[in-house]
Structure 1
Amino acid sequence: MKKKWLAGLATIAAGVLLLTGCGQKKETTLTVGASATPHAEILRHVQPQLKKEGVNLQVKTFQDYVLPNKELASGDLDANYFQHKPFLDNWNKKNHGTLVSAGNVHLEPIGFYSKKYKSLKDLPDGATILVSNNVADYGRVLKILQDEGLITLKPGTKLESATFDDIQTNKKNLKFKHDLEPKLMTQFYKRGEGDAVVINANYAVQAGLNPQKDAIALEKNTSPYANLIAVKKGDQNKPAVKKLMKALQSKSTQQWINKHYKGGVEAVYPNGK
Structure 2
Amino acid sequence: MIRVSTPLRLTAALLLTAPLAACSAGADPDTLDVLASSTPHAEILEWVDEQHDDISLDIKIVTGGPEANAAVANGSVDVNYFQHEPYLLDWENQTGQDVEILAPVHIEPMSLYSTAHDSIDDIPDGSTVALPRSGSNFARGLLLLADHGLITLDAEADPAALSQITLTSVVDNPKNLDLVPVEDELAARSLDDPSIAAAVINSNFAMEAGLDLDADTLITERPEGNPYANILVASAEGKADPRVATLVDAVTSTATADWIREKYGHAVIPVN
4+ aligned runs moved over 4 Å, structure 1: none
- Are the counterparts in 1 of residues 30 and 56 from structure 2 also a CA contact under 8 Å? yes
CA distance in 2, matches of 1:185, 1:94: 24
Alpha-carbon offset, residue 138 of structure 1: 2.3
Q: How many residues align?
A: 240
- Are the counterparts in 2 of residues 254 and 267 from structure 1 also a CA contact under 8 Å? yes
- Are the counterparts in 2 of residues 127 and 174 from structure 1 also a CA contact under 8 Å? yes
Residues 1:251 and 2:254 aligned together: yes
Name the CA shift for 1:218/1:242 in 2 (closer, same or farther; >3 Å).
Answer: same
- Are the counterparts in 1 of residues 35 and 79 from structure 2 also a CA contact under 8 Å? yes
Residues 1:123 and 2:126 aligned together: no
Which of 37, 40, 43 in structure 2 is aligned with 1:41?
43
Residue deviations 1:230-254, cap 9 Å, x none? Answer: 1113532332222111111111100
Which is richer in helix?
1
- Residue 201 of structure 2 aligns with which residue? 199
Alpha-carbon offset, residue 85 of structure 1: 0.5
- Residue 172 of structure 1 aligns with which residue? 175
Q: How does 1:44-83 map to 2 (within 5 A)?
A: 44-51=46-53, 54-83=54-83
- Residue 141 of structure 2 aligns with which residue? 141
Residue deviations 1:29-67, cap 9 Å, x none? Answer: 21111011111100011113442xx31122111134243
CA distance in 2, matches of 1:234, 1:212: 42
Residues 1:237 and 2:248 aligned together: no
- Residue 10 of structure 1 aligns with which residue? none
- Residue 182 of structure 1 aligns with which residue? 184
Alpha-carbon offset, residue 194 of structure 1: 1.1
- Are the counterparts in 2 of residues 85 and 227 from structure 1 also a CA contact under 8 Å? yes
CA distance in 1, matches of 2:52, 2:32: 10
User: Is 92-101 or 119-128 further displaced after alignment?
Assistant: 119-128
Name the CA shift for 1:147/1:252 in 2 (closer, same or farther; >3 Å).
Answer: same
Residue deviations 1:109-163, cap 9 Å, x none? Answer: 1111112211223222222111121111123212221221222221221122311
Name the CA shift for 1:115/1:177 in 2 (closer, same or farther; >3 Å).
Answer: same
- Are the counterparts in 1 of residues 108 and 268 from structure 2 also a CA contact under 8 Å? yes
TM-score by length of 2: 0.82
- Residue 270 of structure 2 aligns with which residue? 267
CA distance in 2, matches of 1:169, 1:233: 44
CA distance in 2, matches of 1:186, 1:208: 9
Residue deviations 1:2-39, cap 9 Å, x none? Answer: xxxxxxxxxxxxxxxxxxxxxxxxx7321111011111
Structure 2 residue identity aligned to 1:40: A
- Are the counterparts in 1 of residues 129 and 199 from structure 2 also a CA contact under 8 Å? yes
Structure 1 residue identity aligned to 2:250: A
- Residue 224 of structure 1 aligns with which residue? 227
Alpha-carbon offset, residue 212 of structure 1: 3.4
- Residue 102 of structure 1 aligns with which residue? 102
User: Is 146-155 or 102-111 further displaced after alignment?
Assistant: 146-155
For structure 2, list consecutive stretches of 5 or more residues without a partner in the other structure. 1-28
Residue deviations 1:80-134, cap 9 Å, x none? Answer: 0000001101111111110121110011111111122112232222221111211
User: Is 69-78 or 222-231 further displaced after alignment?
Assistant: 69-78
- Residue 155 of structure 2 aligns with which residue? 155
- Residue 92 of structure 1 aligns with which residue? 92
Task: Determine helix, strand or coil for the equivalent of 2:179.
Answer: strand
Q: Which has the larger radius of gyration?
A: 1
CA distance in 2, matches of 1:191, 1:258: 32
Task: Determine helix, strand or coil for the equivalent of 1:243.
Answer: helix
For structure 1, list consecutive stretches of 5 or more residues without a partner in the other structure. 1-26
Task: Determine helix, strand or coil for the equivalent of 1:212.
Answer: coil
TM-score by length of 1: 0.82
Name the CA shift for 1:113/1:210 in 2 (closer, same or farther; >3 Å).
Answer: same
